[in-house]
């Protein structure tokens, strides 16, 4: 099946922090065990302390980063304070499966929202987009 983004998509993160803010009922970043461990190590705290301070657990066992005042707990101004250790979901946005299913979804959820998607270059090729989609899905499968 040929995807509509087969020629790649332009994207250059502007580090505006918009994707770190809640949008309606969308206010979550899933973090699996490996991501929580990496973040705890980065912050030089133990995993239990990290989980208690910075995450909440869903009934299905998945953990989410906390949001406070309408944004991710790690957003300070427009800057991610854990950028070097940020979760897969953050690193791979906007190349998520649900955002790329249709041009309309991409238009509404990415192009109409994110300044970085308005760039003309660099163009992220289809193979890299596919790799990032798969990385995201893998991270989400492993609580």
The confidence score (pLDDT) of residue 98 equals: 93
Residues 29 and 26: their CA atoms lie apart, in Å, by 9
Residues 107 and 52: their CA atoms lie apart, in Å, by 37
The confidence score (pLDDT) of residue 48 equals: 98
- Report the number of distinct structural domains present in the chain: 1
The token pair that represents 74 in the structure block: 């790690």
For residue 1, is it within any domain? no
**Are 54 and 39 spatial neighbours (Cβ–Cβ below 8 Å)?**
yes
Parent domain of 90: 9-141
Residues in the chain, overall count? 143
Bridge partners (DSSP) listed for residue 21: 71
The token pair that represents 5 in the structure block: 């983004």
- pLDDT tens profile 92-113: 999 999 999 999 999 999 999 9
DSSP state of 109: I
For residue 79, is it within any domain? yes
pTM of the full predicted structure?
Answer: 0.88
For residue 122, is it within any domain? yes
Q: Is 61 left (phi over 0), alpha (psi -120 to 50) or beta?
A: left
For residue 125, is it within any domain? yes
How wide is the angle at C-alpha 54 spanned by C-alphas 94 and 27, nearest 5°? 40
């Amino acid at each position: 099946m040929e995807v509509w983004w087969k020629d790649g998509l332009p994207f250059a993160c502007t580090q505006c922090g918009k994707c770190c803010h809640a949008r309606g009922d969308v206010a979550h970043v899933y973090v699996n065990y490996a991501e929580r461990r990496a973040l705890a190590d980065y912050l030089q705290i133990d995993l239990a302390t990290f989980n208690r301070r910075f995450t909440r657990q869903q009934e299905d066992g998945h953990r989410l980063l906390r949001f406070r005042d309408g944004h991710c707990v790690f957003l300070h101004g427009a800057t991610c304070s854990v950028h070097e250790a940020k979760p897969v979901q953050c690193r791979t946005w906007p190349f998520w499966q649900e955002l790329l299913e249709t041009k309309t979804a991409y238009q509404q959820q990415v192009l109409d929202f994110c300044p970085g998607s308005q760039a003309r270059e660099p163009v992220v090729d289809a193979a890299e987009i596919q790799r990032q989609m798969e990385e995201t899905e893998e991270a989400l499968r492993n609580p």
